Amino acid sequence: MVKEKSAGWNGISKLLLKRVLASLVVLFLMITFLFFLLRIAPGDPSQKFVSPDLSPRLAAMVRQSFDLNSSLLDQYKTFILNLSKGNFGISYTYQVPVIEVIGQFLPFTIIFSLICFVIQISCGFVLAKFVVKNINGPRDKIISKASLMVYAMPSFVIGVALILIFSVWLNIFPSSGLSSFDFSSYNFFQKIFDYVRHMVLPVITLSFGGIAVYYKYLRDNLEEVYNKSFVENLRAHGFEEKVITRKHVIPNAVSPLIAVAGVELGLLFGGALITEVIFALPGMGRLTVNAILSRDYPLVLGCTFVSGVLIIITNLAADLLKAKMDKRIVKGILN
């Protein structure tokens, strides 16, 4: 126990290193697993080259150039060799290196996810704090029911409804896309304004469900912590309610949320398929799903790798945060 408590920076960095290494090994194993699974699973990447307008010989040539005719092991060898040079190969559909394709889609997804994540967490937190003063009071009941109602509405319904209200009827926001056609002729402020205008509806759509989730977790945890005996003890000792809430209740209530938040942020980085489709946004969700549906093997592997790395990072961040709140469990959590 004593030893663990004094685990200093050195100990933590060792733990971190171990964990990152383990994560990378697992990621590599998963990519390998996926590599074989993709090729064994039904479906054929050269399918789009079979059509009445094309010569039957073309599909055979294409298969050859995708290297799909050689043995699985040979294909794997080439893949690993390329991977060791940081090369995921060339996307079958886009015919440019996978890294380049992902480079076009990832920045948007990261920015979009972070904005939504911050909004989800802060709105959820504000709402939970708003009701916590009188748990089971009227405002708690209303907000709790409303949050479930929001949750029962899937994001595609919210998205379509928002478009209907704000673009079709009120004509305030554009209904799709990331920027206007004349974007390149705008000055700096107009550009930013154009982005903001386009992003309002998608951000609301993607954030709505998340707000409900975080609110619910926080509210229920707060309720529970308030009823814990140690809070009563503190009250009995004459501590101010504000101090109790800030110093003791909130930290305790937030801790299970952190794990969820880490997972959720990682998933957000994987892309928000439905929101992207409704609002025609260039994100990772659409990219990955299209890659899967068209059996673009290198692109699927690339997308999985990137989202795997991001998930590892967010989970690590979540665990670090959790460990920071409770020093005693550093070792257990970071394991």
Partner 1 sequence: MRNKYILAILLIFTILFLPSCTKQIPISQNRVVASISSDIESTNPLFAFDIDEGTISELLYLSLVQHGWDFNTGSMTTQPMLAKSWEWNKDSTSITLYLRDDVKWSDGQSVTAKDVIFSFDVYSDPLVQSKLYGSFKHFYTDTSMHVDLKKTFDVINPYKLTINFKKSSPASFYDIDFPIIPQHIYKNVSRKDFVTAEKEIKPVTDGPFELAQWNKSQSIILSANTKSFLYNSDNIEELIFKIVPNYYSQLTQLKRGEIDFMQDIRADDYPLLRGQNNLKLTSLKGREYDYVGWNNLDPEIYKQTKRIVPNKLFGSTVVRTALTYAINRAEILHEFLDNHGEVAFGPVAPIFSSAIDTSLKPLPYSPGKAKQLLASAGWKENKNTGLLEKNGREFSFTLDIPSGNPRREFAATVIQNNLREIGIKINIEKLEPEIFFQKMFARELNAWMAGWSVSIPPDLKQFWYSKLEDAPLNVASYQSKAADKVLEEIESTRSEKFKDELYKKFQEIIYKDNPVTFLYWINNLMAYNKRIKNFQLTPLGPYHRCWDWSVR
Partner 2 sequence: MKFYPKAWHFIILIATALFLLRFNFIINSTLLTIQTIRLIFVSPSFVFSQINFQFLDPLLSSALVIIIPVIALLKHGSKFLQKKIDFTSLVIIILAAFFILAPLAAGSNPDFQKNLSVTKLLPPLSRVKVLHLKSESHVVSDKNYFFYLKNLVVKRPFDETIVYADSVISASDVICYQGGEQVEFPKEHIEYRNGSPVVTTRLFLLGTDEYGRDIFSRLIYGARISLFVGLGSVLVSMLLGVLLGFIAGYPGGVIDSLISRITDMFLAFPVIFFIILIIALFGNSIASVIFVLGFSGWMSLFKIVRGEVISLKNKDYFISARLAGLTKTRLLTKEILPVIIAPVIVNLVFQYGNVILAEAALSYLGLGTGSSYPSWGAMIESGQNYLSQAWWLILFPAMALFFTLLAANNLGKEINTYYNPRLEE
Contacting positions for partner 2 (CB under 8 A): 19, 22-23, 25-27, 29-30, 34, 37-38, 41-43, 145, 148-149, 151-154, 156-157, 160-161, 164, 168, 213, 216-217, 220-221, 223-224, 227, 229, 255-256, 258-260, 262-264, 266-267, 270, 274, 288-289, 292, 300, 303-304, 307-308, 311-312, 315, 322, 326, 328-329, 332-333, 335
Report the chain's C-alpha Rg in angstroms: 25
Q: Under the criterion CB under 8 A, does residue 32 sit at the interface with partner 1?
A: no
Other C-beta atoms lying within 10 Å of the C-beta of residue 210: 23
Is there binding between residue 264 and partner 1 (CB under 8 A)?
no
What would the x/- binding string for partner 1 be over residues 67 to 106, using CB under 8 A? -----------------------x--xxxxx------xx-
Q: How far apart are CA 27 and CA 310, in angstroms?
A: 11
Residue 132 has phi, psi (to 5 degrees) of -70, -20
Q: Which is nearer to partner 2, 133 or 145 (CB)?
A: 145
Query: 257 or 273: whose CB is closer to partner 1?
Result: 273
Q: ∠81-83-85 over CA atoms, to 5°?
A: 80
- Structure-token match 């140690």, residue found: 230
In this structure, the dihedral spanned by the alpha carbons of residues 283, 110, 218 and 320, taken in order and rounded to 10 degrees, is: 140
Quote the CA–CA distance of 217 and 223 in Å, as a whole number.
10
What is the nearest approach in angstroms of partner 2 to the Cβ of residue 131?
Answer: 15
Which option in partner 2, partner 1, none does residue 216 bind, with CB closer than 5 to 8 A by kind?
partner 2
Does 34 sit near partner 1 (CB under 8 A)?
A: no
Q: Which of partner 2, partner 1, none does residue 134 bind (CB under 5 to 8 Å by kind)?
A: none
Using CB under 8 A as the binding rule, whether residue 13 contacts partner 1 is answered as no
Q: Which residues lie below 8 Å from residue 194, measured CB to CB, with a gap of 6+? A: 179, 180, 183, 186
Q: State yes or no: residue 38 binds partner 1 (CB under 8 A).
A: no
Q: Where are the beta strands (DSSP E) in the chain?
A: none
Beta-carbon-side half-sphere exposure of residue 179 (alpha carbons within 13 Å): 13
Q: Is 48 in the site for partner 1 (CB under 8 A)?
A: yes
306 binds partner 1 (CB under 8 A): no
Among 10, 71, 136, 182, binds partner 1 (CB under 8 A): 182
Q: How far is CA 299 from CA 29, 165, 219, 277, in A?
A: 17, 37, 41, 19
Q: How far is CA 58 from CA 48, 49, 53, 193, in A?
A: 10, 7, 11, 48
- Per CB under 8 A, residues contacting partner 1 are 42-44, 47-59, 61-62, 65, 90, 93-97, 104-105, 160, 163-164, 167-168, 171, 174-187, 189-190, 192-194, 196-197, 277-282, 286, 290, 293-295
